[in-house]
């Protein structure tokens, strides 16, 4: 497996984890009272947007040719860290 393939696989696994996290948070939203539900719904929407941004970055890396993926990796790593932070903050707000 090439370095690029390993990197892409790592990103895919992280995306799957984030999707599962979103599912859990959505279940909590359904159980929350009306006031909290609005707040949590907004947070889930933001997380879905962040996850979708990550999917775009992943697609860019996957479609890159030759060594160009390494340049994209730098931007992806920064974006990934931002997204990880957003998920960590959401978990705190949801009381996990």
Please name which of 81, 56, 72 lies closest in space to residue 4, comparing C-alpha atoms: 72
pLDDT of 74 higher than 70: yes
pLDDT of 42 higher than 90: no
pLDDT of 96 higher than 60: no
pLDDT of 57 higher than 70: yes
Q: For the ranges 4-8, 28-32, 60-64, which has the lowest average pLDDT? A: 28-32
- pLDDT, position 50: 87
Rounded to 10 degrees, the C-alpha dihedral 18/20/24/29 comes to: 60
Q: In whole angstroms, what is the distance from residue 79 CA to residue 96 CA?
A: 23
- pLDDT, position 80: 83
């Amino acid at each position: 497996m090439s370095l690029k393939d390993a990197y892409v696989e790592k990103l895919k696994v992280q995306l799957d984890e984030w999707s599962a996290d979103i599912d859990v948070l959505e279940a909590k939203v359904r159980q929350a009272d009306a006031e909290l539900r609005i707040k949590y719904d907004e947070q889930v929407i933001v997380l879905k947007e962040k996850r979708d941004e990550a999917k775009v970055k992943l697609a860019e890396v996957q479609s890159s040719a030759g060594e160009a993926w390494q340049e994209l990796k730098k931007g992806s790593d920064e974006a990934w860290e931002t997204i990880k932070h957003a998920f960590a903050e959401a978990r705190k707000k949801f009381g996990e």
